[in-house]
């Protein structure tokens, strides 16, 4: 899935020098299941910047929703905090700066 939001996410990660891998989860569970099909989202997995350096899964949808996710052993994803809805790539970048760069998580 390619959208302006997935491009904005990849550009932001590249600008911060964060190495990531694109993942394809099997399905949503819990509160995330209300969002429908997870194939409408673009997901990356990475380590947050030091000093925290914890594993993070982040997803963005073509509609501008963004969230950090927790993965179950079965490969299903659920929200790790409340999703954020952005109207532009710059709003997404601001959210990423607050959530990822600060190490706060969602």
In order along its 106 residues, the chain shows pLDDT tens digits of 558 999 999 999 999 898 999 998 878 888 888 877 788 899 999 987 777 777 889 999 989 999 999 888 777 889 998 899 999 999 999 999 988 865 544 4
Do β-strands 41-47 and 20-23 pair in parallel, antiparallel, or remain unpaired? antiparallel
Predicted structure pTM score = 0.84
| CA 25 to each of CA 14, 18, 54: distance values in angstroms, whole numbers, following the listed order | 22, 21, 19
Q: What does the alpha-carbon distance between residue 14 and residue 65 come to, in Å, rounded to a whole number?
A: 20
3-state secondary structure of 30: helix
Say which residues have a Cβ less than 8 Å from residue 39's Cβ, sequence separation at least 6.
1
CB 10 within 8 Å of CB 3: no
Domain map (residue ranges) of the chain: 4-101
DSSP type of residue 21: E
């Amino acid at each position: 899935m390619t959208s302006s939001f997935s491009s904005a996410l990849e550009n932001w990660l590249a600008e911060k020098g964060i190495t990531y891998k694109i993942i394809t989860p099997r399905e949503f569970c819990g509160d995330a299941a209300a969002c429908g099909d997870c194939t409408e989202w673009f997901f990356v997995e990475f380590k947050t910047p030091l000093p925290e350096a914890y594993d993070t899964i982040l997803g963005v949808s073509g509609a501008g929703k963004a969230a950090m996710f927790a993965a179950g052993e079965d490969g299903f994803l659920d929200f790790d905090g409340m999703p954020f809805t952005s109207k532009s790539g710059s709003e997404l970048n601001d959210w990423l700066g607050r959530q990822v760069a600060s190490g706060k998580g969602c």
